[in-house]
């Protein structure tokens, strides 16, 4: 753990395994609630000095961290593939994405502007300023184990906040390596703190109950996010929640079905389907569903599962056995209710893959509303295809979910594109675009997919309080 600028151990250790083969690759301290409390105290003591620095000074630290992260890109990527399982090329891309947040907020730190407001009285002046909220507690997920750290830490530090972070139990080694970068960048003691733990519940309890923590930022499941938000409400803490998704992928009759299927194959199986913006329901107009499915199936059949360190691997392992069981349950339920398996539909066991958590990339057709996969987020490599006949039906089906994070639309009609962009109740909509994300753009969802935004200029606002000054002159 990294608390108040010092690396610490704990009485117990948490072993970390490679999901591709089950081998132990390292260990981290198994911290507890008292460690979280000490880290919060360190962050509180560091806050006055850190928030008192100029924006230019805080920016310099983030620029420094960005430079170091890019220099260590390959080492970080290899650690990510070992610990999380994604193919090495995807890991390299993620490290670059993580570094982008450090660079973007190094720049945004200098763009926290105030304003003056005309007052109704001649002897009165109004000034609006933005100040850091204080100590931030962050909880990050395993599926993007470095970029989700910097997406929270960079804007918090740029705003003048200090932070305590608990990484996912499955990927703490990536967090340790990231915090080594902050140490080397000479960010002052107590400004960034890391608490690793096998059991997240006591850490979360300290985060939500400790009055020193003024903001909680969480990326993970909707169920856990609701619990943290409810507990934080007792002290009216600020919360940012980036939660589950159930993204629709709409392909309209004027779209090129081959081009759309290629896009679907890339974004659906990104990170083995373990992404909150992964398409979960592929709605395709009935007039073009046949060539779409043919192309999608042909491309998915060519995907190779295996250890992400090997060349040509595009499908890595799922995070654990529970993830495998969930995918198997959804596929079996769909088959029993009439869906057709075009490819995949089974666990990968050959060539040593039985030692890891691998599931074959799968395409299902004939999916209906009665199937679990239509309603429940999969977080795995399964693409369910649903045919539709008219635009309004497609829009209604797409919006028929409690989630509202991301949606995708393929059409060559600008009117239809605009109607879908405006009508889809999702925080992110990609129009003929399977990667509508960047450090410079706001990321977040509607409905039960979360609260607040990360990235873009909106991302730093989440860590600022608005203060009004009324002056009598």
CATH at residue 425 = 3.40.309.10
Query: What is the per-residue pLDDT for 166?
Result: 98
Contacts of residue 57, Cβ cutoff 8 Å, sequence gap at least 6: none
Say whether both 16 and 45 belong to one domain.
Answer: yes
Active-site position among 242, 448, 454, 462: 242
Query: What is the per-residue pLDDT for 410?
Result: 98
Burial letters for 257-266: b for 16+ Cβ neighbours within 10 Å, e otherwise? bbebbebbbe
Query: What is the per-residue pLDDT for 67?
Result: 98
The count of domains in the chain is: 2
Can you tell me the distance from the alpha carbon of 18 to that of 120, in angstroms, rounded to the nearest whole number?
65
pLDDT tens digit string along 41-91?
999 999 999 999 999 999 999 999 999 999 999 999 999 999 999 999 999
Residue 438 falls inside a structural domain:
no
Say whether both 162 and 290 belong to one domain.
Answer: no
Say whether both 131 and 111 belong to one domain.
Answer: yes
Say whether both 190 and 287 belong to one domain.
Answer: no
Residue 405 falls inside a structural domain:
yes
Active-site position among 161, 177, 206, 276: 276
The model's confidence at residue 2, banded by pLDDT at 50, 70 and 90, is very high
Query: What is the per-residue pLDDT for 88?
Result: 97
Say whether both 288 and 201 belong to one domain.
Answer: no
Residue 174 falls inside a structural domain:
yes
Can you tell me the distance from the alpha carbon of 370 to that of 5, in angstroms, rounded to the nearest whole number?
54
Residue 411 falls inside a structural domain:
yes
Closest CA to 328 of 313, 314, 338, 318: 318
Instruction: Give catalytic status of residue 8 as yes or no.
Output: no
- Quick check: helix, strand or coil at residue 117? strand
Residue 314 falls inside a structural domain:
yes
Instruction: Give catalytic status of residue 336 as yes or no.
Output: no
Say whether both 153 and 98 belong to one domain.
Answer: yes
Strands of the sheet containing 464-472, edge to edge, are 115-117, 124-132, 464-472
Can you tell me the distance from the alpha carbon of 352 to that of 20, in angstroms, rounded to the nearest whole number?
9
CATH at residue 193 = 3.40.605.10
The model's confidence at residue 372, banded by pLDDT at 50, 70 and 90, is very high
pLDDT tens digit string along 243-265?
999 999 999 999 999 999 999 99
Give the number of other CB atoms < 10 A from CB of residue 401. Answer: 24
pLDDT tens digit string along 409-468?
999 999 999 999 999 999 999 999 999 999 999 999 999 999 999 999 999 999 999 999
The model's confidence at residue 233, banded by pLDDT at 50, 70 and 90, is very high
Say whether both 219 and 131 belong to one domain.
Answer: yes
What H or E segment, with its residue span, contains residue 264?
Answer: helix 257-268
% of the chain at pLDDT higher than 70: 100
Residue 440 falls inside a structural domain:
no
Query: What is the per-residue pLDDT for 101?
Result: 98
Residue 127 falls inside a structural domain:
yes
Contacts of residue 129, Cβ cutoff 8 Å, sequence gap at least 6: 114, 466, 467, 469
Query: What is the per-residue pLDDT for 3?
Result: 98
Residue 320 falls inside a structural domain:
yes
Assess contact for 70 and 120: CB atoms under 8 A: no
Say whether both 258 and 200 belong to one domain.
Answer: no
Say whether both 237 and 311 belong to one domain.
Answer: no
Domain that residue 269 falls in: 247-431
Say whether both 259 and 200 belong to one domain.
Answer: no
Q: State the DSSP code for 139.
A: E
Query: What is the per-residue pLDDT for 309?
Result: 95
Say whether both 358 and 288 belong to one domain.
Answer: yes
Closest CA to 53 of 157, 178, 151: 157
Say whether both 213 and 269 belong to one domain.
Answer: no
Query: What is the per-residue pLDDT for 178?
Result: 98
The model's confidence at residue 35, banded by pLDDT at 50, 70 and 90, is very high
Give the number of other CB atoms < 10 A from CB of residue 211. Answer: 10
């Amino acid at each position: 753990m990294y608390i108040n600028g010092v690396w610490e151990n704990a009485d117990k250790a948490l072993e970390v395994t490679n999901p591709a083969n089950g081998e132990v690759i390292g260990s981290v301290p198994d911290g507890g609630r008292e460690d979280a409390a000490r880290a919060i105290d360190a962050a509180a003591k560091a806050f006055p000095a850190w928030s008192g620095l100029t924006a230019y000074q805080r920016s310099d630290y983030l620029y420094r961290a960005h430079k170091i992260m890019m220099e260590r890109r390959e080492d970080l990527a290899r650690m990510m593939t070992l610990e999380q399982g994604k193919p090495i090329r995807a890991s390299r891309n993620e490290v670059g994405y993580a570094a982008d947040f450090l660079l973007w907020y190094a720049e945004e730190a200098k763009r926290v502007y105030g304003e003056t407001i005309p007052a109704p009285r001649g002897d009165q002046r109004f000034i609006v300023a933005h100040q850091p909220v204080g100590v931030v507690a962050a909880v990050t997920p395993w599926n993007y184990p470095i970029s989700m750290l910097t997406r929270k830490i960079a804007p918090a530090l740029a705003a003048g906040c200090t932070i305590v972070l608990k990484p996912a139990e499955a990927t703490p080694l990536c967090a340790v390596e990231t915090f080594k970068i902050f140490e080397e960048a000479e960010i002052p003691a107590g400004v960034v703190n890391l608490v690793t733990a096998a059991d997240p519940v006591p850490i979360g309890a300290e985060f939500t109950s400790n009055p020193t923590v003024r903001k909680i930022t969480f990326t993970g499941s909707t169920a856990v996010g609701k619990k943290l938000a409810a507990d934080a409400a007792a002290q009216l803490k600020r919360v940012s929640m980036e939660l589950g998704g159930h993204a629709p992928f709409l392909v309209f009759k004027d779209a090129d079905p081959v081009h759309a299927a290629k896009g679907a194959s890339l974004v659906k199986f990104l990170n083995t389907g373990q992404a909150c913006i992964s398409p979960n329901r592929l709605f395709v107009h009935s007039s073009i569903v046949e060539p779409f499915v043919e192309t999608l199936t042909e491309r998915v059949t060519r995907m190779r599962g295996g250890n992400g360190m090997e060349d040509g691997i595009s499908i890595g392992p799922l995070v654990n056995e529970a993830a495998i069981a969930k995918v198997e349950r959804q596929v079996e339920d769909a088959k029993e209710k009439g869906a057709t398996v075009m490819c995949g539909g089974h666990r990968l066991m050959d060539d040593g893959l039985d030692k890891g958590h691998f599931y074959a990339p799968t395409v299902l057709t004939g999916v209906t509303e009665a199937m679990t996969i239509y309603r429940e987020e999969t977080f795995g490599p399964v693409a369910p295809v649903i045919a539709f006949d008219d635009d309004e039906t497609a829009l209604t089906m797409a919006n028929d979910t409690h989630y509202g994070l991301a949606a995708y639309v393929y059409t060559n009609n600008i009117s239809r594109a605009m109607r879908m962009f405006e009508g889809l109740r999702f925080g992110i909509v990609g129009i003929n675009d399977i990667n509508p994300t960047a450090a410079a753009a706001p990321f977040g969802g509607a409905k039960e997919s979360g609260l607040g935004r990360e990235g873009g200029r909106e991302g730093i606002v989440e860590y600022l309080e608005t203060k009004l000054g009324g002056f009598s002159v």
